[in-house]
Amino acid sequence: MTTTEAVETMVDVMAPYIGDMMARSATEAHCKKLGIAGGAVGPEQLEALLGKLGGGLNIFLGRDKAASVIAEARAALAALEGSR
């Protein structure tokens, strides 16, 4: 899976809760911090990214809701990977 595909999938899941623009800027900022650049992204990097995004969503949604949104993002990423 490419970084762009993963970012787009995560943004789509988070957008209803925090907006497309915030979801995109937060995901891209965390990618940069985690050293996730263009090209392929590995499962460990994806987990690290989801962890960071979950921490941010916590502030707006609380722990339980943030965890369910991250689970939704994880499932969407798995579906994308499975569709190949």
Minimum gap (Å) between residue 28 Cβ and other proteins: 9
Dmax (CA) for the chain in angstroms is 34
Site string for other proteins, 21-60 (x = CB under 8 A): xx--xx--xx--x------------------x--xx-xxx
- Could you give the C-alpha distances from 49 to 27, 41, 55, 81, in angstroms and in order? 8, 10, 10, 16
Name the residue nearer to other proteins (CB basis): 41 or 56: 56
Q: Which of 41, 61, 73, 77 binds other proteins (CB under 8 A)?
A: 61
